[in-house]
Chain A
Amino acid sequence: MTRLVQIYTEREHQILGGGFILLLIIAWESVPHLVTLPRALSLFFTTPSKVSETFYELVVQNEFQTHFYVSAVEFLLGLGLAILAGLPLGLVMGRSSVVDAMFDPYVTALNATPRIVFLPLLILWLGLGIWSKVMVVFIGALFPLLINTYEGVKNVDRVLVNVVRSFGANEWQVMKMVVLPNSLPYVVAGLRLAIGRAILGVVVGEFYGATKGLGSLMAKAASAYQVDVVFVGAAIFMGISLIFTLTVKRIEANLSRWRPDVVKTF
């Protein structure tokens, strides 16, 4: 008995947390078995087991894969472009106050505005193909990367720059030895946020105007009251988002070994 108590106290966090989630899933599954749903609600209701069945069917019919592939391409292209644009721009803005001042209004305005409001415009310009989605992903992911890189570069400790300079470092060496290592944790955190935004961009972009992609599959299914399919899509998006976020957090933790406990940021 004491052995059980011991295990429990050690892993209380995981047990309570995991247990709660498990409880929810079980409760969800059992609802239709426990109560008879009113007719209206039963149209929308589904259970985890049914969702899994539908997922299996979709995979077997290869329908899932085709749509998933499109969404994945949109995600990767948009994110890739955001990294290529955001990191250098953030670096330059951080080092040059003139560039910073000139770009600041645009960055502030675009960052504060929900990027999806540009969606109708992008569809007008780029049509319903993947490029309008890629652009939404790009705009969404760009700003966390840009802003975080900027912050990392800007927040370099002046003392450290002086220290390295006093040992005879030139501008390039200052970059390499001080600015870049200092910025790295910021950039990775920016990447984490960017990934979340990118997935959001794929989802919303495909909901609104697309013929292919997981989001468009969900939207079509929703109007046909195929709730199972919608849940499959939602679960996949959420699952992938979680996996990415946790992986990047792990990388962040590894890179931040030299930092004293940083305040948890959201």
Chain B
Amino acid sequence: MASYIQAQNLALTFRPKNRDPVTALQGLDLEVGKGEFLSLVGPSGCGKSTFLNVLLGLLKPDGGDIRLDGKKITGPGQERAMVFQEFGLLPWRTVLANVELGLELKGVPASMRHQRSSELIKLVGLNGFEHHYPHELSGGMKQRVGLARALATDPDVLLMDEPFAALDAQTRDLMQLELLQIWDRAKKTVLFVTHSIEEAAYLSDRVIVLTARPGRTKSVIKINLPRPRDYEMRLTADFNDIKATIWNTLKEELIARTGYGA
């Protein structure tokens, strides 16, 4: 069975001006099934975000093949949307106008846009804030706007680049729960990049550990916890075993990258 998202032998090197070239990806193979929740973990700089950007269509790989539903990815498309780590909200637009962004570019008429956006704003728990500006919102609220915006165009694939990294621990836990609920209802394919093993294990069906730069798949760990997952599951022994498995794999890469002793 060909996977929904398929990356084969992906390679990408950055060539910044006045600096040495950086090979972010080299020989990366990866598969994602439809409707799956997949997390990517790996040491800093291993190319996780780069891979997401390739999937999004903003970066072109130097070599290898990347396909969505059998078709080659050549640029951005409506079936994929990203939730950015730095939020990326247009500061001069209100919350409502921000959420509408994708719909606006699609040419959806105003009244339909407003309706859909309002629904999503309610979904992420921000109703009442439609006419606020981003600078008036907290980090968690901004990220929810980002999520609403990504969901607005009803993409099949949701790409999330460390979306909760800038949030405090409580907000983070809350957002994780909300994300799972939304995912469960909407049945989207999610690719989730994170530094947190706990987060990856809690949210995903599978966790892929990447090697240090240049990134390659090191190991694939299946999470056999039942769904729906509640917070208490994080306190079980099974969960700890899973975390340990991931950590042991990741540890090698971290040592390779930083030279830290075990």
Contact = CB atoms under 8 A, between A and B. Distances in A.
Asked if A and B form a direct contact in the complex, defined as CB atoms under 8 angstroms apart, the reply is: yes
A182 B92 contact: yes
B81 to A, nearest CB: 7
B223 interface: no
Which of B81, B105, B106, B134 has most A Cβ within 10 Å? Answer: B105
Contact of A258 (B81, B84, B106, B133): B133
A184 B86 CA distance: 23
A126 interface: no
Interface in A169-225: 169, 173, 177-178, 181-182, 184
A90 to B, nearest CB: 19
Given A159-B88, A160-B88, A166 B76 contact: yes
Contact of B84 (A163, A168, A169, A182): A163
Interface string B119-148: 000000000000001110000000000000
B78 interface: yes
Interface in A137-187: 159-160, 162-169, 173, 177-178, 181-182, 184
Contacts of A114: none
Nearest to A256: B92
B21 to A, nearest CB: 20
Contacts of B7: none
A178 B90 contact: yes
B120 to A, nearest CB: 15
Contact of A166 (B57, B92, B133): B57
9 contacts: A163-B84, A166-B57, A166-B82, A167-B102, A167-B106, A168-B78, A178-B90, A258-B91, A259-B91
B255 interface: no
B90 A260 contact: no
A163 B133 contact: no
A196 to B, nearest CB: 26
B88 A163 contact: yes
Which of B80, B86, B91, B92 has most A Cβ within 10 Å? Answer: B92
A257 interface: yes
Interface in B87-114: 88, 90-93, 101-102, 105-106
Q: Is the interface of A mostly helix, strand, loop or mixed?
A: helix
B58 A166 contact: yes
Contacts of A177: 90, 101
B56 interface: yes
A173 B107 CA distance: 12
Given A167-B101, A167-B105, A181-B92, A257 B133 contact: yes
A178 B105 CA distance: 13
B153 interface: yes
A105 to B, nearest CB: 21
Interface in B162-184: none
B130 to A, nearest CB: 15
A167 B81 contact: yes
Interface in B52-91: 56-58, 76-78, 80-82, 84, 86, 88, 90-91
A38 to B, nearest CB: 60
A183 to B, nearest CB: 11
Contacts of B90: 160, 163-164, 177-178, 181
Contacts of B88: 159-160, 162-163
A173 B81 CA distance: 18
A260 B135 contact: yes
B135 A258 contact: yes
Nearest to A167: B102
Given A159-B84, A178-B90, A182-B92, A165 B76 contact: yes
A167 B56 CA distance: 9
Contacts of A169: 105
A162 to B, nearest CB: 6
A164 B88 CA distance: 9
Contacts of A167: 76, 81, 101-102, 105-106, 153
B56 to A, nearest CB: 5
